[in-house]
Amino acid sequence: MIGLGTSRRSLEYILSVAIGLSALPTAIAIPATAAATATSAPTSRLGHETGLPIPRFVSLKSSNARMRIGPSTDYGTKFVYKAARLPLEIIEEYDNWRQVRDCDGVTGWMHRSLLSSRRTAIVGPWLREPAAINAQPGTRSDALALLSPRVLLGIKRCDGKWCTVQVFGHDLTGFVAQQALCGVYANEAMD
């Protein structure tokens, strides 16, 4: 995990960020091809309930949220999320319910009140190596730290190749390659 130019302070960030991973839910692992689908550029249409593009990324508002098998509380719980701000992809709308897919490919239905339009991301669970958070966009920039897969990040902006992100709970802001993130589409620009 330690690369050239990695300072002791960077190492402290790596360790403290890695410790924060225990708060994320554990879900079913999926093949890399399915994980890549979650980050590829979407062919969008407008949702018939909101008029917003589908698919689109949102984040989880609650730290105790149930994903259901169908679009009603009459349906059983499929999964319980215990960490707020996780990125979810809305793939369908029905009344006040949204069919969502998480970064592990788990799909189900959640009430719209559990979701926020605030964009977040996690370092791709499909990555075999940590992702660098750089001082500037580009591979030649100094790495501030290395982030393990599933580290939760706030997205400030993306230019289609690099995203400006903040590591939640840490005073660390920098640039991460967009292809290393789940919560933003490949080549998506956003402010």
The predicted structure's pLDDT at residue 41: 53
What is the mean predicted confidence (pLDDT) over 167-176? 93
- pLDDT exceeds 60 at position 61: yes
Q: What is the mean pLDDT of residues 92-118?
A: 96
pLDDT at 55 over 50: yes
What integer best gives the mean pLDDT of the chain? Answer: 82
Model pLDDT, residue 42: 62
What percent of the chain is predicted at pLDDT more than 90?
Answer: 66
Mean pLDDT of the region 57-72: 95
Mean pLDDT across the stretch 43-53? 86
Amino acid 44: pLDDT: 78
What's the pLDDT at 47?
A: 84
Q: Is the pLDDT of residue 191 over 90?
A: no
- CA–CA separation, 74 and 45 (whole Å): 28
Residue 164's contacts (CB-CB under 8 Å, 6 or more residues apart) are 155, 156, 157, 158, 173, 174, 175
At 10-43, the pLDDT tens digits run 434 443 343 333 333 333 333 333 344 344 556 7
Q: Which helix (H) or strand (E) covers residue 81, if one does?
A: strand 77-81
Q: How does pLDDT run across 108-147, given as a tens digit for each residue?
A: 999 999 999 999 999 999 999 999 999 999 888 889 999 9
Q: Given this model, what pLDDT does residue 139 score?
A: 85
Q: State the pTM of this model.
A: 0.76
CA distance 45 to 35: 22
Integer angstrom CA distances of residue 55 from 1, 86, 179:
34, 16, 18
DSSP 134-148: ESSSSTTSPEEEEE-
